[in-house]
Chains A and B, each alone.
Chain A
């Protein structure tokens, strides 16, 4: 086993420290080597490390061009994915960030060059258009004004619709469109286009816009309260030109904000998932699970506070059994990630839950008594299937034979837009020495020993996915993929 036994063991904690003190490229190299040597494994640490790394990459990005930012993130992403293609969480985060950047860039681009298209007249309040100091009409659409300007707008549209300038008429129509489409809750940018922007509402960035709406701090406004839509094609054009530079700086700030929101999402995913526990776990149920997954344990702990049930825990020999034993006995005493807050949680037995540990071979035998199976995947795929620790396919199939529901709990960060054309490729193989000791010379020389770390479980064996966004059928996952990722980013 090639892990370097210095103090401290290389892993996510050392990587994060390294990231703080070293330049970006060195950190990228460090992360790549950690991935290659498998010193950082499992989806959550990889996702957290990737997010921190990309945060730094964007923060240190000097150029003003958004296309170059996208290229930079893509190239970093390609290096990371090439280092360990089976850690799909890395690719997921890279694609999320790319989607975020593209979304921000598009919102921005829509305002800037496009003064002729009518749809563009209503806007992005926090778009950086406004700092030019000109009394433009964009300010009409910034949220607080939107609310207050509501009645005026409708009046305006009616009066202008008959005659007057084309522009004002169109602008008014846009206003009206906006009014029809969304009540003042959302920012105007989400409303002006029907089609492509609709998913924004559910995207992370769309969610971000809510807190921004009441406070137009980013909207520099000119603060003008001019409710009247002047036929201002000329002033609009003038307004767009000087804003180009201010726009790009803000794009970076928004991307950084978005990445920080992504970090928060990673932190809170387990808590959000655990919030659904009481809906699914009832008293006196017998739940089967395996491996030492934090998400599952916290899910069960959340239910254990109110209900008494039994958990049958399959130790995942030979790859995860030590961690599983530790989880059963002690819960988690210290956090794996350096700067994380409270990651300690007590074992289920401390809350009075009966935990029965069984070897993996007994799964079929006890399945007739099990009410529910809870699995924690390593990766979830867009077709509804999942890749989980070895033993998961056995459990899922035994459950399907006994008609026992199978629940998979995972954060959305584990959901990959990649379609598994070849499920064999997804399986990583581990140390064969754990199966048959290398000291056993005869065995090792004459027999092929295999130790797959993962199993691919197809979508028809899973009944429910519980993510931080709620519960979904496997057939719904493609929609979540569409919400979070862009098609052009799937092939990096």
Chain B
């Protein structure tokens, strides 16, 4: 068990990487929790296979090139650690923690929720239909939605 900052150390010893998905974009990119792209990038650099497990219902028409244009931002307070949040609530003048970040002009805490992993980092997508390459995502999406429309 390691934190994301130790991911390169984990990647040294891994033989396979399994990732979950929030969505799969039609250009083959994976839209998943922030940090997924980091793991995929490190695995790709070491030629470790990256496998995404994703139901076809999560496939979408949308395309994304980067993680900035379409994303969600979670409340910044989540980045504060429990003692920070408690200190903020209590108004404690502990300058060392981020408790008073709102009062500091120019300081923003950015807590993005998702990131987009480029398709070339993904080797295989596992769906209820079987195994696919990421480039098949739009095809499967179209077929499954057409089927729904027809029935």
Contact = CB atoms under 8 A, between A and B. Distances in A.
A191 B47 CA distance: 54
Q: Tell me whether chain B's interface is mostly helix, strand or loop, or mixed.
A: mixed
Given A365-B116, A368-B67, A316 B5 contact: yes
Contacts of A358: 109-112
A356 B8 CA distance: 25
A116 interface: no
Contact of A328 (B4, B68, B107): B107
A443 B68 contact: no
Contacts of A435: 1-3, 6
Contacts of A390: 5-6
A317 B106 contact: no
A394 B42 CA distance: 7
Contacts of B35: 360-362
B115 A364 contact: yes
B79 A357 contact: yes
10 smallest CB-CB distances across A and B, nearest first, come from A361-B35, A365-B67, A365-B115, A364-B37, A391-B5, A349-B106, A368-B66, A390-B5, A326-B96, A393-B8
Contacts of A325: 96-98
B95 A317 contact: no
Contact of A326 (B95, B106, B107): B95
Contacts of A452: 2, 6, 9
A107 to B, nearest CB: 46
A399 B111 CA distance: 20
Chain B, interface size: which category? Answer: 35 or more
A232 interface: no
A330 B106 CA distance: 13
B151 interface: no
16 contacts: A328-B98, A329-B98, A354-B106, A354-B108, A356-B107, A359-B34, A361-B4, A362-B115, A365-B34, A365-B116, A390-B6, A397-B42, A435-B3, A450-B9, A451-B3, A452-B9
A455 interface: yes
A448 interface: yes
Interface in A435-472: 435-436, 443, 447-452, 455
A427 B107 CA distance: 33
Given A352-B106, A394-B42, A366 B68 contact: yes
Contacts of B34: 359, 361-362, 365
Contacts of B117: 364
Contacts of A361: 4, 33-35, 38, 115
Contacts of A455: 8
B112 A365 contact: yes
